[in-house]
Amino acid sequence: MKYSEARQGRVFILRLEDGEVLHEVVEAFAKEHGVRAAWLIAVGGADRGSRLVVGPERGRAAKIVSQMFELDEAHEVAGVGTLFPDEDGAPLVHMHMAAGRNDRAIVGCVRVGVKTWHVLEVIMVELLDTRACRKLDKELGFKLLRPEG
């Protein structure tokens, strides 16, 4: 395990509008408002056509191939995640979200595009005094959190 400390900064309350893509709007907002790092919660609706990464095709395969799931209709959603910069300083959201409709639910990463259905509320809590960032892990092919920077 690796860790570091941070302290809480500003708290932002965002309301995404119909059709806006969650990670795109949150990353643009962070850049515009000088938020380098944050934790996030989201609740609201995801529209038909939203996509989630729902795990690797094979758990311990040498090459990771992500599985995608596309919502066929509007779903109720709730998610939690983080925002940290990559090596170039660009803010990157990592959020997992549960999406439910009727008697079924799916959980996955929002990175490939969750579109707002009417409204999606996001609370962004800024993290200060941290060098944590995301750096490319060449073996896995993902930009992973490096708490120590």
Average pLDDT estimate for 61-84: 95
Find the domain containing 133 and state its range.
Answer: 11-146
Q: Evaluate if residue 8 carries a pLDDT over 90.
A: yes
Read off the pLDDT of residues 96-108 as tens digits, 9 standing for 90 and up. 999 999 999 999 9
Does 5 map to a domain? no
Would you say residue 104 lies in a domain? yes
For residues 111 and 51, give the distance between their C-alpha atoms in angstroms, rounded to a whole number: 8
Per-residue confidence (pLDDT) for residue 139, from 0 to 100: 87
Per the prediction, the chain carries an average pLDDT of: 97
The enclosing domain of 132 has a CATH number of 3.30.1330.80
Beta-carbon contacts of residue 69 (< 8 Å; ≥ 6 apart): 51, 52, 54, 106, 108
Burial class (CB in 10 A: 0-12, 13-18, 19+), 83: buried
Q: How far apart are the first and last CA of the chain?
A: 14
Total number of domains constituting the chain: 1
pLDDT for res 9: 99
82 within domain boundaries: yes
